Amino acid sequence: MAIVRAFRGILYNPKKVNCSDVMSPPYDIISDELKRILYEKSPYNIVRIDCGENSPNFNKYELARKYLSKWLNEDVLIQDETENLYGYEIDYSYKNKKNVLRGLVCIVKLEELGKGIYPHEQTYSKPKVDRLSLMKYCMANTSLIFSLYRSKERITSKILEELKEPFIVATDLDSNIHKLYKISDKKIIDEIVRELKDKPIFIADGHHRYEVALEFREKMNKLYPNCKDAPWNYVLMFLTNIEDNGYLILPTHRLLITPLRVEEEIKKNQDMFSLIEFNGSDIEESLENRGPKHIGLYLKENKWFILYYKGKPPKHLPDELGKLDVTLVEEIILKLFPKKEVCYETDIEKSIKFVKEGKCDAVFILRSTKVEEIERVALKGLRMPPKSTYFYPKLLTGMIINSFNKT
């Protein structure tokens, strides 16, 4: 059961800053070059808090805490006086098609994974160490966890569609327009809370942050065992209804670097694979039309293939995982190359360019993971390989912060 609550959000003050200049993409897609650009956009850009750098005198987490406190004192950041829910809307385009993503921003009571809140991807330990340190120093959720729920009644969806007069409007680096609305009417808040209380929540983006929030809760509750309903028992989330079809799930392609000749190694395993030459113009469309077990392959000899897997799912995996294309690539195809390096890229054109420039030897092109596959895997308590999904558009960091300090 999902327990959703209103909270006193911390937001940028549009009277003090240009909101487009102070926002940032999620920390895990920020390159060193992009970080430099964001630093230069504004002295108040949220990247200094959420994904900052060390200085000669302070580590980046100490600096994050100092910036958060300083900007609150300067009214660059302002905390709402009352507890609200918030509507978040993104007008975006992808491949010249326009769409709108709408969702609810709230705090959600932390539950052990698999008990009302479900992950779908594996995580790494290194990012969790970073996020835990940031949470510890700032005593806040500085970015949103992107999550999904399903409601055919669409009660909250209809409320979000009717919101007017956004408090914040910001344009991201892809020219998508982000809007944040305040929902303060108690009756409407109660209506939203009622709808969501029995809905499973599926984490789309933010697995590391959710696991860190669980770890932080455990540490804090040991320090303060008598502090019931403490703010660190909740985490900041963006919830969007699967029924609204507002988001895209893009595939993340696998770039392979290996001393072996890729085509030869695959042909050695003709009992498992069919290698079909591809001469079409749209590999993505062709893969979608062909369906599961079809993988695109581009080689540095400027060759295109569609690779069809003729075998059965790996025996050591449940069907919900074994039948996924991403599992096929990770568990069978890439294991043909014992000495290898694998990189990840969502942009096919960039992937092809890397191969042509000799930076890698091949790229395996995947179909998009479907939301129904995510639901099946998550509800079974299973996890897909890392980089199985790429949700678009990305939420902006800086649109809202949830503080654990009661001021």
Q: Which amino acid is at 108?
A: V
398 SS3 class: coil
Q: Which pLDDT score is estimated for 356?
A: 95
Q: Which pLDDT score is estimated for 142?
A: 98
Q: Which of 208, 172, 148 is nearest to 399 (CA)?
A: 172
Q: Which pLDDT score is estimated for 382?
A: 95
Q: Which segments of the chain have a pLDDT < 50?
A: none
CA gap 295, 309 in Å, rounded: 8
CA gap 389, 148 in Å, rounded: 13
Q: For residue 284, how many other CB atoms are within 10 A of its CB? A: 16
Question: Measuring CA to CA, how many Å separate 72 from each of 68, 69, 129, 363?
Answer: 6, 5, 26, 47
pLDDT digits (tens, 9 = 90+) for 344-358: 999 999 999 999 999
Q: Which amino acid is at 49?
A: I
Q: Which pLDDT score is estimated for 281?
A: 85
Residue entry with tokens 């395993």: 269
Dihedral sign (CA 337, 342, 348, 352): negative
What's phi and psi for 289, nearest 5 deg?
-65, -35
The H-assigned helical ranges of 343-388 are 348-356, 371-379
Contact 395, 27 (CB under 8 A): no
Q: Which pLDDT score is estimated for 407?
A: 57
Q: Which two tokens stand for residue 38?
A: 């964001």
> What residues contact residue 177 under an 8 Å CB cut-off, 6+ apart?
90, 91, 92, 169, 170, 171
Domains of the chain: 4-247+393-403 (no CATH), 252-367 (3.30.1760)
Contact 317, 221 (CB under 8 A): no
Quote the distance between the C-alpha of residue 146 and its chain's center.
6
For residue 360, give the DSSP letter. -
Q: Which pLDDT score is estimated for 229?
A: 86
Contact 234, 107 (CB under 8 A): yes
Dihedral sign (CA 209, 214, 220, 226): positive
CA gap 87, 167 in Å, rounded: 10
Torsion-angle region of 159 (φ positive above 0: left; ψ -120 to 50: alpha; else: beta): alpha
Q: Which pLDDT score is estimated for 227?
A: 81
Q: Which pLDDT score is estimated for 335?
A: 95
For 10, counting Cβ atoms within 10 Å of its Cβ (0-12 exposed, 13-18 middle, 19+ buried), the class is buried
Q: Which pLDDT score is estimated for 365?
A: 98
